[in-house]
Amino acid sequence: MKVIATDDIKLPIFSENLKTYVIPVLGNKKNLKSPIKLAGGWRFFEDVIILQKNKKKIYKKILNFNEFIELSKSCKNSKKILDDIYHDLTSKRISNINLDFSKCNLMSVLNFTPDSFFTSSRVENLENLKKKIEKLKLQEVEIVDIGAESSRPGAKKITSEEEIRRLKLFFDNIDVGQLNFKLSLDSRNFKTVSSFIDYGVIIINDISGFKDKKFLDLLINKNISIIIMHMQNNPEKMQENPSYEFPIIDIYEFLKVKIKFLLDNGVKKSQIIIDPGFGFGKNKYHNLNLLNYFPLFHSLGFPICAGLSRKSLIDNIYKDKYKSDILPDQRLSGSLSLQNIAYLHGAQIIRTHDIFEVQQSFACLEEVYI
């Protein structure tokens, strides 16, 4: 779908025949004349990109946020629409599990799979597990995401029984109550999640985007959060010719529908985290489209998790320029670059394999940009 830069905004801005999307243009507070704090956090904006979708065309215009507000006042129910937009862009993200979303939280990865795409994230045995846990405790990481089913492209689905068997290495040997980080379980299987939800898991990281509605029972009855991720198809087939009309808008609308369903069924706003799903049923163009327009997701009003670490996108970019492949263990520099962009775009959670290196990188960014 073609994006057309325009000097004219279609009026009324909000109507049944015209879809309008508001994307904050983020920057350093000291460089802005009238800075507005994004999501109660560390980034600011005063201008917004307006995308207007009309049939097969998307029109793009950058406006000062106050100018956008004035132009919007001619719309039906404009006060409520503008109040909602302002609230969703500026309000601090709330958390039922005491995560501080006024800053970027780092989520580390422990994989209890023999075939995870990045070998250094794999837990091989109990001794290896205990060493990794002690290192994470010293690094003061906010979240650790454990999983036992590979979601790399082409990975075949395993049974819940096998997934549970693999995870027992962690739950049978680690006292979760003694950990200084929050525990996330990366699983799309209700049987697996329900087996461990009473053993210290407080985040369900669901790559299937809440396909199994039985998760509602857990969310409504327990004080846990869920990460709703977008994935086209499933890991086994997700990279077989993925297709979108316009990725950022398609995925925004997918997440919007999921959020409404959860809220309508009794899930609290403070329990929901969203993830656009970089690399899950997306090619190079799709992923770069998401990254370029990433701040649109702030318009949904929920904390955002971004997983770009060691992804094949880095290989795709490098190969196009230098005509050679790079394996996951060679992608640290590319990981840091993409994660820095997500950080500057205001992502409240960064899921990464490289905690120490990301902490360094973000500390340096803060000195210059924040």
| pLDDT tens per residue across span 358-369 | 999 999 999 988
Domain-ending residue, one of 90, 114, 135 = 90
The pLDDT of residue 285 = 96
Looking at the domain assignment, is residue 100 inside a domain? no
Asked if the model's pLDDT at residue 128 lies above 80, the reply is yes
How much of the chain, in percent, has pLDDT values that exceed 70?
A: 100
> What is the domain count for the chain?
2
User: Do 148 and 59 share a domain, yes or no?
Assistant: no
pLDDT of residue 342: 98
Mean pLDDT of 287-302: 98
Structural domain contains residue 250 = yes
Q: Do 225 and 202 meet the contact criterion of CB atoms below 8 Å apart? A: yes
Q: What is the CATH number of the domain that holds 156?
A: 3.20.20.20
Q: Helices 160-171 & 126-139, crossing angle to 10 degrees?
A: 70
Residue 96 inside a domain? The answer is: no
Both 212 and 115 in a single domain? yes
The answer to whether residue 292 sits within a structural domain is yes
Angle at 230 between CA 228 and CA 234, to 5 degrees: 115
Residue 251 pLDDT level (bands cut at 50, 70, 90): very high
Please give the C-alpha separations between residue 283 and each of 154, 247, 350, in angstroms, as whole numbers: 14, 10, 20
Q: What is the mean pLDDT of residues 238-248?
A: 90
In-domain check, residue 189? yes
d(CA 341, CA 368): 14
State the CB neighbour count (10 A cutoff) for residue 59: 19
180 lies in some domain: yes
- CA–CA separation, 42 vs 44, rounded Å? 7
Mean of the per-residue pLDDT values of the chain: 94
Per-residue pLDDT tens for 328-344? 999 999 999 999 999 99
pLDDT at residue 1 is higher than 90:
no
The residue ranking higher by pLDDT, 184 or 11, is 184
What range defines the domain where residue 10 resides? 2-90
Residues 301-311 have a mean pLDDT of 97
Chain centroid to CA 83: how far?
Answer: 25
Answer for the pair 202, 159: CB distance below 8 angstroms, yes or no.
no
Q: Which of 138, 55, 104 is nearest to 347 (CA)?
A: 104
Asked, for residue 28, whether it belongs to a domain, the answer is: yes
Amino acid of residue 156: K
Measured CA distances, 127 to 76, 137, 162, 356 (Å): 63, 16, 21, 21
Place of tokens 């997440």: 255
Reported as a single tens digit per residue, the pLDDT across 140-177 is 899 999 999 988 777 788 899 999 999 999 999 999 99
Domain final residue, candidates 60, 90, 120: 90
**Rounded-to-integer distance, Cα 313 and Cα 329, Å:** 14
Beta strands in 82-216 (DSSP E): 105-111, 143-147, 182-186, 201-206
311 and 216 belong to one structural domain: yes
Asked if residue 332 is part of any domain, the answer here is yes
Same-domain status, 118 and 10: no
* Same domain, yes or no: 223 and 139: yes
Tell me, what's the pLDDT at 14?
85
Same-domain pairing of 205 and 341: yes
pLDDT for res 293: 98
In 3-state terms, what secondary structure has residue 143? strand
Both 117 and 170 in a single domain?
yes
Q: Which of 57, 90, 123 is the last residue of a domain?
A: 90
Domain check: are 262 and 135 in the same one?
yes
Q: Does residue 248 sit in the same domain as residue 346?
A: yes
Q: Are residues 191 and 306 in the same domain?
A: yes
Residues 6+ apart with CB under 8 A from 98: none
pLDDT for the residue numbered 153: 76
Give the C-alpha separation, 75 to 11, whole Å. 8
Asked if 253 and 203 sit in the same domain, the reply is yes
The contacts of residue 13 (CB under 8 Å, 6+ apart) are 20, 50, 52, 68, 71, 72, 74, 75
Q: Distance between CA 280 and CA 242 in Å, rounded? A: 9
Residue 178 confidence (pLDDT): 93
Cβ–Cβ < 8 Å for 280, 288: no
One domain, residues 83 and 111: no
